[in-house]
Amino acid sequence: MSDLVLRVRTPPQFRLDLSPLTPERLAGQSADAVARVLLACGRRRVPVGEWFDVRGSAGGSILIEGDCARMDRIGAGMQDGQIRIEGDAGAYLGLGMQGGRIEVSGSVDAYAACGLSAGLVRIGGDAGDYLGAALPGEHRGMRGGVVIVAGRLGDRAGDHMRRGLILAEGSCGDYCASRMQGGTIATLGACGARPGFAMRRGTLLFAGPAPSPGPTFNDGGELPFGFLVLLARSWKELPSRFAALTRTSIRVRRWVGDLAFGGQGELIHWPA
């Protein structure tokens, strides 16, 4: 897979929308043609070449080098191929992504993997608030795919999440899995306040420290759950610390809720 390489010449002072730069949209284009693609920057539309040095040819893979912290919507709507970012990325990374793979070596801003339906997003640093959530005003968050975060999650990760998997190797912020309707979030780190607030279905799994569920979660005690084996086995091929997770027992402590919202979601503590 050949690489199209975009090196950030000077980080923009304002937000820059990189959503046109997906592998399938640029397929077959030369570096010169890519440099002429227009990007939204506030009220202006500026060519890629104004911000990036472009080299290589557009195949199935794009490499973005440099500080992209003010560059939003990277890989939005992406269906196939791969985007690698050597550095930080802005907000809405992988918004509505339907396939392919995005890897960020640094941290990302809010709303990453928002509305993700398939594919893999891997974040080497921290993730901002609302990872895998729904856009404001929408009711369908992440509904498929896998998100791996090596660092910590911001607040309200998985808000309105319906399906898919979020693996947080670090800690979670407040209101993790709020309004969750399905899917799985697992963390190796500590959890912030009110995990699973208003969740109706889905699984929030703590493979590290025990959570402190709110009063609207009922403690079901310790029981064995066979599906955990299926879950852990599915992680074996993933580029994550979860792949090496070893648990000899499937006997876990489980809380059900959020009962204030008629929820049947579950918080599970699966310690080593």
Partner 1 sequence: MPGKAAVIVNGVSIDDTFAEAFAMRATRVIITADTAAWARQAAVTMTGFATSVIGCGCEAGIERELGPGETPDGRLGVAVLLFTTSSSELAKQLERRVGQCVLTSPTSAVFAGIVNGKPLPLGKTLRYFGDGYQISKVIGTRRYWRVPVMDGEFIAEDTTAMSDGIGGGNFLILASGASRALAAAEAAIAAMRQVGGAIMPFPGGIARSGSKIGSKYKTLIASTNHPFCPTLRAGVDSELGPEIECVYEIVIDGLTEEAVRDSMQAGLRAVCAIGAAGGVRRLSAGNYGGKLGKFHFPLRALLP
The residues of the shown chain that bind partner 1, judged by CB under 8 A, are 144, 163-164, 182-184, 201, 203, 223-227, 229-231, 233-234, 264, 266
Distance between CA atoms of residues 229 and 233, nearest Å? 6
Q: Which is nearer to partner 1, 107 or 240 (CB)?
A: 240
Q: Which is nearer to partner 1, 249 or 264 (CB)?
A: 264
Q: Which is nearer to partner 1, 173 or 213 (CB)?
A: 213
Cβ 229 to partner 1, closest distance in Å? 5
Cβ 182 to partner 1, closest distance in Å? 7
Q: Which is nearer to partner 1, 9 or 236 (CB)?
A: 236
Q: Which is nearer to partner 1, 55 or 200 (CB)?
A: 200
Cβ 80 to partner 1, closest distance in Å? 16
Cβ 163 to partner 1, closest distance in Å? 5
Cβ 95 to partner 1, closest distance in Å? 21
Cβ 203 to partner 1, closest distance in Å? 7
Q: Which is nearer to partner 1, 105 or 234 (CB)?
A: 234
